[in-house]
Amino acid sequence: MKLRWSNIVPHVILSVFSLCILLPLIWVLRVSLTDKLTAYKIPPEIGHLGLENYVEIFSTYPFERWFLNSLVVALAATAISLPLATAMAYAFARFNTGGAFLRLGVLASQMLPPIILVLPLFTLFFSTGLMQTHMGLILSHLTISLPFLSWMLVSFFEGDSASLEEAARIDGATRWQAFIKIAVPVAAPGILAAGLLGFILSWNEFLFALVLSGASSQTLPIGLASMETHAGVEIAPLAAATVVSLLPIFALLPFLRKYLIKGLSLGALK
Amino acid sequence: MIGISGTGANAADRRDRRFGYAMATPSLLVLFLIILFPVISALFTSLHDYTLIAPNFDTFTGLTNFKLALGDAEFRHSAWLTLRFVIGVVALEFLIGFAVALMLNKVERFKPIYYAILLCPLLMNPVIVGLIWRMFLHPNLGIVNYLLSTIGIDPVNWLGDTKIAIWTVILVDIWHQVSFMIVLLLAGLSSLPKEPYEAARVDGANAFQCFIHITLPMMRTVIVVTLLIRLIFAVKTYDLIYIMTRGGPGTATDFVSYFIYRTAFVSLNVGEASAMSIILLTAILGLTVYLYRYMRSIN
């Protein structure tokens, strides 16, 4: 290959860009492995590296509880929304149920800023005793995952299995059987990927948890935010907690690669 | 779907429609309960003098809360700040994102590596993004000011200076979200047909002319959809502000979502906060209708 400017320039720019993204993440990892004093040294020293901060977040902070709360709330919200959204998306895609009006309604629900919902939910939860409970938090997360999944899944049902379903119907299958035995299995990879994205949306949610959760139902983002204010400037354990909180997302990323574009563009691009 | 005679088709159509509604009903019921009902209740609250000190609907005040909100200099300030922030992040992320996407579309070698790296910030929690950048941008103990000092630049008070803070938040948002633009624009670029470019090259067009006359027109709907989605999400920005600046210093980064939060939970004036959130809702709905029309035109 000939070495030419037009070949090198993009690589130089892309490398610089990649470093801008990557270096902060590497630095967080490095801070999480140093001891507390070294973490503050300016100019920075590498010093001793170890896992003490990771032990500390579990022993000094209720990190385990935050993590479990996040997991329970995100899993429950996703598990409730996924079947509901699958059924509605199928109705939208196959029978055009509700037409443009309902579709627009679902998209609008998804675009709704959480601050608009958190005020009425706050007063409603107070009068119904759902305040500070896991149940309340799960309900509030449904406002994010249910519209997102309903909207996303429509495009997974458009096209693919319609002719298969029709053949099954001619052979005497009911509409429900055509849905559950053909449409759902064909769309299963997409449904699962959408479910993972829905899980991540819930995992990252902050405002509902901030206003509606209590000490026992606090999720990870709230816990992390409180770590910073309580411990003043203890950045080493905070960095360790950050790394652990990122792990589930990075672990799920490879499974999402194929569906990421669809997920980010809300189904508009493939 | 599979009717044979005329009346049979009608009966089947009717049953199709009924089945469709039966499938959608559970989800619609839940959406009604957790979204539509709360929105209506916010609308109701916005018409009353409802505070957290006197949480009752005894005093109907009509549109007073809306008048107060629109006349409130702080609310107008926060709307203006939000507008500046949204235009800033969307424009800058688009320009950087499009440039990177064009380059990624050109290169073959290392492309999977670049792509894998840029995916990293994409699904990160905004709270974590805010926390790590606060750590880096600390005026005395942060790594950023240290690195700047090694090339002779004086320390910058990134989050403490009223003039700089909003730009700091914009920069951090770019780090977090620019990959969104790259991923979607690259998807658009890589699905463009090759023939128009070959024809243009035969006619002697240079790369810049190709970009202006072929790439941009063909990318139009992808660009509009990408910009609109990012725009709507940028209006919602809350977490980053809560973590990095709490709207400060002073009110330098007091965006609408955060200001509504403060009005409700610090000033305890839920009625007026509800009026503000209804105003915000109207703006978002307008943008969403526009987005919906564009999304239909893609498929």
Does residue A76 register a pLDDT over 90? Answer: yes
What integer pLDDT is reported at residue B56 of this predicted model?
85
Q: Cβ–Cβ of A140/B103 closer than 8 Å? A: no
Q: What pLDDT, on a 0 to 100 scale, did the predictor assign at position A36?
A: 77
Q: For residues A112-128, give the mean pLDDT.
A: 92
Of A106, A224, A265, the CB nearest to B128: A224
Q: B196: exposed, middle or buried (C-beta count within 10 Å: 0-12, 13-18, 19+)?
A: middle
Task: Identify the band that residue B59 occupies on the pLDDT scale cut at 50, 70 and 90.
Answer: confident
Interchain pair B30, A210: CB under 8 A? no
User: Hey, which CATH number is domain B65-298, 1.10.240.10, 3.40.50.20, 1.10.3720.10, 3.40.30.10?
Assistant: 1.10.3720.10
**Of residues B276 and A34, which shows the higher confidence score?**
B276
Q: In B, which residues are within 8 Å of A97 by CB distance? A: 17, 20-21, 23-24
| Residue A105 banded pLDDT, cuts 50, 70, 90 | very high
DSSP label of B78: H
All residues of chain B having their beta carbon less than 8 Å from the beta carbon of residue A261 are 183-184, 187
Q: What mean pLDDT comes out for the span B23-48?
A: 95
Arithmetic mean of pLDDT, B72-82: 95
Per the structure block, which two tokens stand in for A86?
A: 């699958």
- Assess whether pLDDT exceeds 90 at residue B170: yes
* pLDDT bracket for residue B57 (50, 70, 90): confident
pLDDT at residue number B34: 95
In this predicted complex, what is the ipTM? 0.91
- Higher-confidence residue of B30 and A8: namely B30
| Domain assignments of chain A as residue spans, ordered by start | 5-52, 56-264
Facing residue for A91 by CB, picked from B24, B135, B295: B24
pLDDT recorded at residue A171: 92
The confidence band for B52, taking pLDDT boundaries of 50, 70 and 90, is: confident
Confidence of residue B5 (pLDDT cuts 50, 70, 90): very low
Does the structure show a pLDDT above 50 at B3? no
Residue A188's pLDDT is: 92
Where residue A50 falls among pLDDT bands split at 50, 70, 90?
confident
CB-closest option in A13, A21, A256 to B117:
A21
DSSP E strand stretches across chain B: none
Tell which residue, A68, A26, A20, A118, has the closest CA to residue A245.
A68
Cβ–Cβ below 8 Å for A206 and B127: yes
* Average pLDDT of span B129-155: 91
pLDDT value of residue A229: 64
Q: Which amino acid is at B80?
A: W
Of A42-46, A126-130, A171-175, B13-17, the least confident: A42-46
Give the distance from residue A97's alpha carbon to the nearest chain B alpha carbon, in angstroms.
6
Q: Do B260 and A10 touch (CB under 8 A)?
A: no
CB B271 within 8 A of CB B49: yes
Mean pLDDT of B79-94: 97
Q: Is B32 on the interface with A (CB under 8 A)?
A: no
Distance CA A104, CA A151 (A): 9
In this predicted structure, the answer to whether residue A210 has a pLDDT above a threshold of 90 is: yes
List the single range of A40-54, A211-225, B160-174, B267-281 with lowest mean pLDDT: A40-54
pLDDT at B4 over 60: no
* pLDDT over threshold 60, residue B1: no
Given a cut of 80, whether residue A107 has pLDDT beyond it is: yes
φ/ψ (deg, to 5) at A219: -95, 175
Return the exposure string of A209-220: e unless at least 16 CB atoms fall within 10 Å of the residue's CB, then b.
Answer: bbbbbeeebbbb
The percent of residues above 90 in pLDDT, for chain B, comes to: 82
A200 with B123: Cβ contact below 8 A: yes
Closest partner CB to A221 (pick from B1, B127, B236): B127
* Mean pLDDT (chain B, rounded): 92
- What does the domain layout of chain B look like in residue ranges? 1-46, 65-298
Give the pLDDT score at B6: 52
Span B238-245, average pLDDT: 94
- The residue of chain A with its CA nearest to that of B50 is A123
Give CA–CA dist A180/A169, Å, rounded: 13
Query: Is the pLDDT score of A6 beyond 90?
Result: no
User: B-chain residues within 8 Å CB-CB of A141?
Assistant: none
Mean pLDDT of chain A: 90
What mean pLDDT comes out for the span A8-33?
93
- What whole-number percentage of chain A has pLDDT above 90? 63
Minimal CA separation from A76 to chain B, in Å: 15
Mean pLDDT over B41-58 rounds to 90
Residue B177 at interface with chain A, using a CB cutoff of 8 Å? no
CATH topology for A56-264 is MetI-like fold (1.10.3720)
- CA of A266: how far to CAs of A26, A51, A112, A220, B83, in Å? 31, 40, 14, 26, 23
Give the model's pLDDT for residue B2: 47
| Alpha-carbon span A53 to B89, nearest angstrom | 35
